[in-house]
Amino acid sequence: MICFGYSWPELLLMSAAAIVVDLLLGDPKWPTHPVIRIGQWIGWLERRLRRDEAKWATPSRLRARGIVLTVTTVALAAGIMMAAVWFANWIHPWVGYAVSVWFISTTIAVKGLKDAAMLVYKPLVRGDLNEARKYVGYIVSRDTQQLNEPQAVRAAVETVAENTVDAFLSPLIFAMLGGAPLAMAYRAANTLDSMVGYRNDRYLHFGWSSARLDDVLNYIPARISAVIMPLAAMFFTGMSAKNGWKAISAFASKHPSPNSGIPESAVAGALGIELGGINHYFGHSSERARMGWPLRSLEANDILRTVKLLYASCGLMMIGVLGLWWAVQ
């Protein structure tokens, strides 16, 4: 199989190398970082597509313009990345490998996800709940001012669990299939969802296509997580794979997202905790489906346990990618 000029073994090896780069370097917040540029583009184009909105806005027109935003952003991200990879290969094949590995690594955010979770964990163990609330606000859209410690822990655990798919499994799988261009196309779609994919008055129609595309792209990776995460829990952490699978079967379908309930249920079952419950958004309460069984109360160390499971899942996928590379040589 040849994709964007690379054989499948080359795609697999570059994907594995990109995991290592992300684990070592994380996600530098450089102004030139492609995800930052994608976010700037989305904001710029949204403002232009919604100019004088009060004069023309209807649900169908908002959806149509939202589709323009979605298609344009994903196509542009993939196209620019194809051009960058082609130009790097034109200079020298090894430059092409280096460019591909680097850009794939920018679509993966395992270390960045761990770092964000630790910003919540460290104040909690110091007893500084206000500081923890501040950093929870960096990773969730819910109101954080009144969170108690278990609620702050739950927010961090849910974020790491859900993003085990969005920030790791999905971009890795797309990189394995299509290198940096396909991985960056996925990251553009996921960034769209995080910026405009809300079910609120502003984005219900305009963000509809972005939210649905993100659901489609994460559908298979989320179901792969139903295998990977419990196995990682069993082999690398000593947590309960059986309870992880039982929780997925019992609770995942109750989540409002067709995908997020799977990793969240897996974590809840493996750790023996309950996720979900009442969240507050802009002064309004919302009951999120409950995942897992409350065998014990949430505690700060559950953030560490969830990060450990994230890294264990990363390690298991790394073994799988290298094993597949060896098999297809």
Q: What is the DSSP string of 162-201?
A: HHHIIIIIHHHHHHHHHHHHHHHHHHHHHHHHHHH---ST
Q: Which residues contact 231 (CB under 8 A, 6 or more apart)?
A: 241, 316
Q: What is the pLDDT of residue 196?
A: 96
> What is the residue whose two structure tokens read 């923890």?
132
Q: Answer for the pair 288, 256: CB distance below 8 angstroms, yes or no.
A: yes
> What is the residue whose two structure tokens read 């620019």?
80
Q: CA-to-CA distance for 22 and 6, rounded, in angstroms?
A: 21
The β-bridge partners of 317 are none
Distances (CA, A) of 328 to 96, 179, 182, 322: 22, 17, 21, 10
Angle at 162 between CA 157 and CA 166, to 5 degrees: 140
Q: Answer for the pair 49, 65: CB distance below 8 angstroms, yes or no.
A: yes
Helix (H) or strand (E) holding 275: strand 275-281
CA atoms within 13 Å, Cβ hemisphere of 88: 20
Helix (H) or strand (E) holding 289: strand 284-291
Per-residue pLDDT of the chain (329 residues; tens, 9 = 90+): 566 679 999 999 999 999 999 999 987 766 678 999 999 999 999 999 999 998 999 999 999 999 999 999 999 999 999 999 999 999 999 999 999 999 999 999 999 999 999 999 999 999 999 999 999 999 987 878 889 999 999 999 999 999 999 999 999 999 999 999 999 999 999 999 999 998 888 999 999 999 999 999 999 999 999 999 999 999 989 899 999 999 999 999 999 899 999 999 999 999 999 999 888 776 677 778 899 999 899 999 999 999 999 999 999 999 999 999 999 98
Q: What is the pLDDT of residue 122?
A: 97
299 three-state secondary structure: coil
CA atoms within 13 Å, Cβ hemisphere of 244: 25
Q: Answer for the pair 247, 239: CB distance below 8 angstroms, yes or no.
A: no
Q: What is the pLDDT of residue 1?
A: 57
Q: Which residues contact 8 (CB under 8 A, 6 or more apart)?
A: 1, 328
Q: What is the pLDDT of residue 26?
A: 85
Between strands 6-7 and 2-3, the pairing is antiparallel
Q: What is the pLDDT of residue 282?
A: 65
Helix (H) or strand (E) holding 279: strand 275-281
Q: CA-to-CA distance for 161 and 233, rounded, in angstroms?
A: 13
Q: Phi and psi (nearest 5°) for 197?
A: -90, 35
Q: What is the pLDDT of residue 2?
A: 60
| Among 99, 125, 257, 113, residue whose Cα is nearest residue 179 | 99
